[in-house]
Amino acid sequence: LDGQGDTAFPEALPVPPDVMQTFFPNIPVATPTTFLVNVNTLEALPLLQGATDAAGFMARMDTVLQMYGGKKGAK
């Protein structure tokens, strides 16, 4: 994200400003950050920042899907 890369990906690609706005509009820019992306609308939902185990990932996924489903049902 800063163009410097890291040990896993030393050759970083530049990130266009519109991509940064889509994925990090109201959250800190940090890696790793995991997103759930709706492939039909390209809406990006942040799931986690930082490392987690499978149980933590699934718990957060469940929470986000419940919140997202509630918002869609209210429209």
Going residue by residue through the chain, which has 75 residues, state the pLDDT in tens, using 9 for 90 and above. 666 778 887 888 888 889 888 888 888 888 788 999 989 998 888 899 988 999 999 999 999 999 888 766 555
Looking at residue 35, what DSSP letter applies? E
In tens, the pLDDT along 31-43 reads 788 999 989 998 8
